[in-house]
């Protein structure tokens, strides 16, 4: 990976991180003074949804921070499995990836003994 490609990814990651941090700090609880029970119920389910979203945003923040740290080491952009370069397009679309498309697919097709949560697997796809 060239220096300018590295910078490009770095900028991209920093933008992503900034956007995620804005999301993470949005008020997820809101104001629970509602007109009636129905509204109260729907607000409650919105809150549950936003808690789930919040958790996902926090995971993405951690992964993006980790990717930024990895950017400084030599093996960034190199597949952890086969050692091939991960195409720049793939890195930009999914900077936290540590596998090339091929190894990712092999892993997805392999039976899962470790039981990675489906939601998390989806995030990395």
In 3D space, the residue among 23, 25, 45, 26 whose CA is nearest the CA of residue 34 turns out to be 45
Tokens of 61: 């923040």
**Interface pick for Zn ion out of 65, 70, 81, 94 (rule CB under 5 A):** 81
Q: Are 99 and 81 in contact (CB under 8 A)?
A: yes
- Interface with Zn ion, residue 66, by CB under 5 A: no
Q: Return the range that interacts with Zn ion (CB under 5 A); candidates 35-43, 55-63, 88-96, 103-111.
A: 103-111
Report the nearest approach of Zn ion to the CB of residue 94 (Å).
14
- Interface with Zn ion, residue 82, by CB under 5 A: yes
SS3 call for 84: coil
- Positions in the binding site for Zn ion (CB under 5 A): 79, 81-82, 100, 103
């Amino acid at each position: 990976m060239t220096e300018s490609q590295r910078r490009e990814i770095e900028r991209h990651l920093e933008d992503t991180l900034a956007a995620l941090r804005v999301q993470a700090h949005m008020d997820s609880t809101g104001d629970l003074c509602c007109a009636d029970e129905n509204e109260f119920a729907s607000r409650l389910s919105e809150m549950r949804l936003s808690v789930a979203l919040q958790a996902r945003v926090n995971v993405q923040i951690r992964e993006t921070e980790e990717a930024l740290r990895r950017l400084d080491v030599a093996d960034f952009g190199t597949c952890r499995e086969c050692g091939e370069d991960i195409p720049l397009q793939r890195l930009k679309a999914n900077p936290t990836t540590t596998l090339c498309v091929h190894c990712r697919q092999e892993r997805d097709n392999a039976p899962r003994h470790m039981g990675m949560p489906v939601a998390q697997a989806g995030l990395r796809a």
